[in-house]
Chains A and B, each alone.
Chain A
Amino acid sequence: MNLIIAIPSKGRLKENALELFANAGYPVLLPKDNRGYQGAISNRPDLEVAFLSASEIARELANGNVHMGITGEDLARENIAAPDSRLEFSLKLGFGQADVIVAVPEAWVDVETMADLDDVAAEFRSRYGRRLRIATKYWNLTQKFFSDHGIAVYRIVESLGATEGAPAAGSADVIVDITSTGSTIRANHLKILEDGIILHSEANLIVSKTASWNKSAIQAKTELLASLAQNVVIE
């Protein structure tokens, strides 16, 4: 049985992943034509490489269709139900860093913490005739985080792009979004709450707990993990 490794099919995640694999002694051969999605690793016929989109990788890992894969922790935690029972976040890879955060308008000078946001959310309905609205594409992470902070009364407005513009557009009051430097947040006159960091995300090497593992696959996994770990660059 071959060990199947999923690698992001485009962008910085792909470039960083290929570089890491090459440095670790696992040079990845790209698909023969541009539309292909199957790669390979030189001299290792027992390893297969699948090029997939980063969110597909999380799903395929959870379903056990691939053994290992590289994707952002945010995508895995957002898109997979009970992620820790199906995935093992084995290695942080030192690239693709970004935080999933709660941000409010800078003008809300009185709102600095989640406790403040709780106060504001509680009186929204009686003051403005509607619940507080949160724009995000991270439904699950938002629900869990807000529920952990005891905040129940709000509505999520689905946002599939330019989430940071939602408060100015009037489609939401606050946002939950991903940011690496915070500059987009600041440029939109928003601020991150002091305790509003939901997740420090980065690219992870994730091992599927639901894929079928035989002895040789486990051995190949262990060797690969060890080689990658030695070559991760911590910034």
Chain B
Amino acid sequence: MPYISKLNNFFAEQEFSIPEIPLLQPADPFLDTAGEDLRRRIFMTNDLGGETLCLRPEFTIPVCLAHLANNNDYGKYAYCGKVFRQRRNGPEEFFQAGMEFIGGNQQAGTLESISSDVDCITNALDALATCGMNKGSIVVGDKAVFEALLIALELPQAWRLRLGRAFGDIQKFENDLQLFESSEHGIQSRDSELHLALEYMNKQAVTDWVVDKMATASLPTIGGRTALDIAERTITKADLAATQLSAKQRKILRAFLSIEVPMANAVEKLCEFSKLMELEMGDAIEIFAQRAKQIDAGIGDQITAIWRANFGRPLDYYTGIGFEIFRDDSPVPVCGGGRYDHLMNLLGAEGEIPAIGFSIWIDRLKGSLQ
């Protein structure tokens, strides 16, 4: 297939390492990171020892595991091969190619992240260009800017975490807003002893109450939620009961998420927005501005770049920017990518190893036989 050899040539020219990724993979790392929903979409089997295996559903996780196994500090990886996923439309085995930039100093929201963000996007566009795709559009979103907005709004931490998780999932975001608008999210328990402890916000008393309940139920005291964790969240929740999202905060959040402008106007738009809403968004704007400028300069004339403020993926390991690249004549993306600084940690790395990458759906390229 011509696209595959073209992409392989491109990867070789860029001197990326191309790790060997077996077709059969242990299923647990995929289910642990992407969640149980993935179970329905992958092809699973068991080996004789009872380990659950699956046909390679994607490359990013195995590439990350290979990076960890080799103990590398920084690595640039490329891959091209068949993946297997159950899809409603389209065949269940198809080709994907992509690149991952793992390690080094490139955490989301820092100045250092800009060059690898831009590197990732330009490599994705170059890879597509080697397949003859010179026209199209790229949609970019940035979770770090949204998080900066949540801080600027001075929202309680518990709410910031919730809304951060809803980034990219407008339905979940609206549900959360409704929750914060209602005033009935305190602790509903009618236990009088607990109520007394909460009235005085006495953490020790709440902890004692929980310890007691855990003992009665013979719950394990290690390896899961501890009485102290439960007490702390109980107090936070009771504390927040009196707090309500103001109409102004609500309006700002919704207004921000509805922003969609050409990348060339993105900085101007964001500055105008923060001034109008009287927000102090710190470094986020400066970093966003530098990156937007470099992205705009780094892409070809025939590619339209758009900043869509609500674009992202609602999984906990995605951070920073996310993007999708489209052909002019099709609504499905031919390429998706983004920053996933928390993934390596989920896969067993000690501490955080920042990373970014993209993946191309080869069967969605023009004239592909796949």
Contacts and interface: CB of A to CB of B under 8 A. Distances in A.
Interface residues of A, number: 38
B230 A128 contact: no
A222 to B, nearest CB: 35
Contacts of A128: 223-225
Given A105-B219, A120-B225, A173-B224, A110 B187 contact: yes
Nearest to B32: A131
B63 to A, nearest CB: 20
A108 B227 CA distance: 9
B158 A150 contact: no
Contacts of B176: 115
Interface class of chain B by DSSP: helix
A155 B32 contact: yes
Contact of B213 (A107, A122, A155): A107
Interface in A98-122: 105-110, 112, 115-116, 118-120, 122
B175 A154 contact: no
Nearest to A116: B237
A13 B94 CA distance: 47
A35 B234 CA distance: 56
A120 B316 CA distance: 13
A125 B315 contact: no
Contacts of B280: none
Given A107-B230, A115-B176, 8 more contacts: A107-B210, A107-B213, A109-B234, A126-B345, A150-B171, A168-B219, A170-B223, A188-B217
A146 interface: yes
A152 B213 CA distance: 28
A219 to B, nearest CB: 37
Contacts of B229: 127
Given A112-B188, A189-B213, A152 B166 contact: no
A42 interface: no
A150 to B, nearest CB: 4
A119 B217 contact: no
A152 B34 contact: yes
Q: Give the contact-size bracket for chain B.
A: 35 or more
Contacts of B237: 110, 116
A153 B342 CA distance: 14
Contacts of B206: 109
A55 interface: no
Contacts of B161: 119, 122-123
A122 B314 CA distance: 11
A147 interface: yes
Given A153-B316, A173-B224, A109 B213 contact: yes
A116 B345 CA distance: 24
Interface in A131-174: 131, 139, 142-143, 146-147, 150, 152-156, 167-168, 170, 173
